[in-house]
Amino acid sequence: MLDGTTAEIKPREALRINPAKTCQPIGAMYAALGIHGCMPHSHGSQGCCAYHRSHLTRHFKEPVVATSSSFTEGASVFGGLANMTQALSNIFTIYDPKIVAVHTTCLSEVIGDDIPMMIKKATEEGIIPAGKVVIHANTPSFVGSHVTGFASMVTAMVKYLSESSGKTEAQLKDEPQLNIIPGYIDPADMRELKRIIKEMGVKTVLFPDTSGVLDLPQDGRYRMFPSGGATIEQIKSAGDSVGTIALGHFASHPAAEKLDEKCNVPCALLELPYGLTNTDRFIHALRNHGGVDVPGTLGEERGRLLDAMGDMHQYFHGKRVAIAGDPDHVIALTQFLVELDMKPAYVITGSSGNHFEQRVTEILKDQAPEAIVKQNSDLFALHQWIKNQPVDLLIGNTYCKYIAHVEKIPFVRFGFPVLDRMGHRYFPGVGYMGALRLMEKINDALLDHKDRECPEETFELIQ
């Protein structure tokens, strides 16, 4: 039975049913994979680590490596120091990574393990070899979400690695470098950001960077540490950049603000570059910080997007849409849907943070002021709202497919995780070209549904 949702809405405060999020360590593990030569390490039980690895593997369709402190009852009672010490010894002896990124789990957080002390002790005892690095982020699953975990690990990269060499402002401007913190996006999106940056001719450090790590070509060889990822040296040099562009309030802004505080690198805090306006803002920020002009090639891409928006407007106009997912994704996507003249009716995220409701409400104040916008919500509530007042389109991750199936709604898979389809890690959603792809997916979903459901007398060859 796929439909266990009732139409009668009752108040719920403490209970979440099908929350539109997952736990912090998954985000921390994903961020760690964006460092070249990094071994993510889960300080907790093997079961937690196995779940986090399998969830990422199912989304990216690539083997995700990580190690575990392998807690048992003894570690739960006496603490995980012995487990961590043995784990670090094994990791550097067997796998020889350049860096280990430790994240915690519920169990190690509840017993109060002091990770910095453990790292310090392992360094003093020579367990961490000279020239190797261990960083950490606290990521208990009982608070926050995978987006919080991602943000915490990226902030840890800044805290442990980024540093200022003491160069003067004039010296930095001689060969200006710009930091890009891309947010919780797929490898294809990071690759597209780098393509746009290259077109602009701006020298940048993008971290974390999972392109070349979780979208590898098949050449018959397995590499535990692929060629992709931001290097330790690049992340260190972020402290000598002229500025930082952080994409996404929830996933990227904390690290950018930490870098500003630590190394006095000013930051521009933007939303993810989904759609026309947000991509314009990203390119404008690159132009300002890099002191360059926008090349004609990007102008042509923008023009093609505008042309397609005009061509498809008749299919999008006034369509009611429900959106669920990560807060940064949903905020940017809501902006794009407004640009397409659609009407977001229900906009939710499972993550907490009042910024989400404030920003989405601001975006919708003219287009759909009656929309229901909720942070810390769940898919059960979304389904109930749809049962009471249906929508024309649903956009969200794979878990939304049950709602779409039962209510016979056109469905576009978007965000994290996408577990039941292939290809999303290869095709970007960011930038002008990514916006074209999102429009195609939305239009195909709407017209395919119309062809399936319409009576024979309105079944047309050309729509």
**Residues classed as catalytic:** 106, 110
Token code pair at residue 428: 């970007």
Distance between CA atoms of residues 34 and 193, nearest Å: 15
Q: For every residue of the chain, which 3-state class applies, written as one string? A: CCCCCCCCCCCCCCCCCCECCCCHHHHHHHHHCCECCEEEEEECCHHHHHHHHHHHHHHHCCCCCCEECCCCHHHHHHCCHHHHHHHHHHHHHHHCCCEEEEEECHHHHHCCCCHHHHHHHHHHCCCCCCCCEEEEECCCCCCCCHHHHHHHHHHHHHHHCCCCCCCCHHHHHHCCCEEEECCCCCHHHHHHHHHHHHHHCCCEEECCCCCCCCCCCCCCCCCCCCCCCECHHHHHHHHHCCEEEEECCCCCHHHHHHHHHHHCCCEEEECCCCHHHHHHHHHHHHHHHHCCCCCHHHHHHHHHHHHHHHHHHHHHCCCEEEEECCHHHHHHHHHHHHHCCCEEEEEECCCCCHHHHHHHHHHHCCCCCCCEEECCCEHHHHHHHHHHCCCCEEEECHHHHHHHHHHCCCEEECCCCCCCCCCCCCCCCCHHHHHHHHHHHHHHHHHHHHHHHCCHHHCCCCC
Phi/psi for 192 (5° steps) reads -70, -40
Rounded Cα distance between 252 and 272, Å, is 10
CA–CA dist 311, 313 (Å, integer): 6
